[in-house]
Amino acid sequence: MLIIRRITFLLALVLALTNTALAEDSDLELAKKLTNPLSSLISVPLQYNYDKGFGPNDDGSRSVLNIQPIWPFSLNSDWNLVTRTIIPIVDQQDIPVKGENKSGLGDILQSFFFSPKEPVGGWILGAGPVFLYPSASDSLLGGEKWGVGPTAVALQQVNGWTYGMMANHIESFAGKEDRTYISSTFLQPFIAYTTKTKTTIGLNTESTYDWHNSTWSVPVNFSVAQLFRIGKLPMQLTAGVRYWAESPEFGPEGFGARLVLTFLFPK
């Protein structure tokens, strides 16, 4: 119920901003921009993920609502700064063991991409720092460590196709001494195709390698998204399925689900 109330509040807040949404971009161009993580488009995705198979008996489950505001800034005639923030609201059941249930805020991740306004050799590029904040409301929902590292993205967009990779590496530098040191590399290769009907079909992996424990987490995500409007406000609804090709011991297994509602605020 807590997550439902928070979702309702967020929807009301975003819908209250509909007067700021203008229709200068065609809807097809908006759909294409949404596949570009460095586009000059203000958006607020609300991404819900469901995964299961946690714990020694594979009976644990986790629901996560990621609030992901994306805000681009024009620095000068040549450069943009694109901020991407992930604020997770977590509800997990029977993790790490049966009967252990927790709900609340997880650790916040924030990335800053400095990006040339024009492609370089046909590639759209961005790079900068990424920060991990120990914002979790409970020790079971986060690592209780501050983290920092580099992040980068490179992609191309040709004839409706978008393909590329986003990556980062995070090392913890402060936090509770009794918690495990964080050293993780994230790799997200992606490919998507946007049709003339503003439908986007996408495939990616969101692989994380834990250097401390020498383990991979590799969910493979397939999704279908549709751009539409409610009044003047453009929105995109995405539905997807994921399969855990690899995960640590007692981690998620099998299939999971993803649902995303994205609010767009074209300039």
- Of 73, 156, 162, 171, nearest to 113 by C-alpha is 73
CA distances from 59 to 3, 52, 100, 127 (A): 21, 7, 11, 39
For 12, counting Cβ atoms within 10 Å of its Cβ (0-12 exposed, 13-18 middle, 19+ buried), the class is exposed
For residue 15, pLDDT over 80 is answered with no
Written as six digits, the tokens of 179 are 């918690």
pLDDT of residue 3: 56
Q: What is the mean pLDDT of residues 242-263?
A: 96
- pLDDT category at 267 given cuts 50, 70, 90 is confident
pLDDT of residue 22: 43
Q: What is the mean pLDDT of residues 70-94?
A: 96
- Of 22, 12, 27, 75, nearest to 196 by C-alpha is 27
Task: For 206, list phi and psi in degrees, rounded to 5.
Answer: -125, 70
Task: For 97, list phi and psi in degrees, rounded to 5.
Answer: -130, 165
Residue with tokens 């979702």, as numbered in its chain: 7
How many Cα atoms within 13 Å fall on the side-chain side of residue 231? 11
pLDDT of residue 25: 56
Write the DSSP assignment of 59-115 as a string of letters.
-EEEEEEEE--EEEEE-SSSEEEEEEEEEEEEEEES-SSTT--EEEE--EEEEEEEE
Q: What is the mean pLDDT of residues 96-121?
A: 93
Written as six digits, the tokens of 86 are 């992930």
- Of 174, 177, 155, 178, nearest to 165 by C-alpha is 155
pLDDT of residue 9: 59
CA distances from 175 to 50, 90, 150, 209 (A): 29, 21, 19, 21
Least confident range from 19-33, 94-108, 168-182: namely: 19-33
pLDDT of residue 233: 92
Across all residues in the chain, what is the average pLDDT?
92
For residue 43, pLDDT over 60 is answered with yes
Residue with tokens 């986007």, as numbered in its chain: 200
Q: What pTM does this model have?
A: 0.88
pLDDT of residue 98: 83
Q: Each residue of 50-63: pLDDT tens digit?
A: 999 998 888 899 99
Q: What share of the chain is helix, strand, coil (3-state, %, to 5)?
A: 10, 60, 30
> What distance lies between CA 106 and its chain's CA centroid?
14
pLDDT of residue 203: 98
| 8 A C-beta contact, residue 193 and residue 200 | yes
Top-confidence residue, 104 or 23: 104
- pLDDT category at 19 given cuts 50, 70, 90 is very low
- pLDDT category at 13 given cuts 50, 70, 90 is low
Q: What is the mean pLDDT of residues 140-156?
A: 97
For residue 143, pLDDT over 60 is answered with yes
For residue 104, pLDDT over 90 is answered with yes
Q: Each residue of 185-194: pLDDT tens digit?
A: 999 999 999 9
Q: Kindly state the percentage of the chain with pLDDT values over 90.
A: 83
| 8 A C-beta contact, residue 173 and residue 183 | no
- pLDDT category at 20 given cuts 50, 70, 90 is very low
Q: What is the mean pLDDT of residues 208-237?
A: 96
Query: Residue 256 forms beta bridges with which residues?
Result: 242
What domains lie within the chain, and their CATH numbers?
A: 2-258+260-264 (2.40.160.40)
